Amino acid sequence: MKLPALPLPLSTIALIAALALGTLDYHSAGWLLFGLGALAWIAVDGKRLTSSDRHGLTPALALLAYPALAGAQASAAVTFALAVHALVVFLILMSRHLASDIAQPFSHQKGISRSI
């Protein structure tokens, strides 16, 4: 029996939970899920960027979860690196989306007669 596909990648689910736990001051459990989410993204989702995480949620959630977990000890360098990474993933996804839009011909409209 095949398991149904999750609506979000495993890494995104772990980072959402880490963000929630960090917001609720459960930092130890939040860091554990942050680490699991990061490892899942590197091991599984990073290889299939467009198929598993079509919207680039994982890097954006990592950017949100890190300051929530680190609090006042959040490193500006780590936050900046996460922001740059999220921006690069966003640009990759947008360029692939735009490339697929440009590749589609303009004559795919149904109902237009060719004899006009």
Per-residue pLDDT of the chain (116 residues; tens, 9 = 90+): 565 565 677 888 888 899 999 999 999 999 999 999 888 877 775 666 555 556 677 788 888 888 889 888 989 999 998 899 888 888 888 887 777 666 565 545 555 555 55
Residue spans per domain, the chain: 10-102
Report the C-alpha gap between 79 and 33 in whole angstroms: 18
Assigned token pair, 19: 């963000």
Assigned token pair, 77: 């360098």
Shortest CA distance to 67 belongs to which of 83, 79, 59? 79
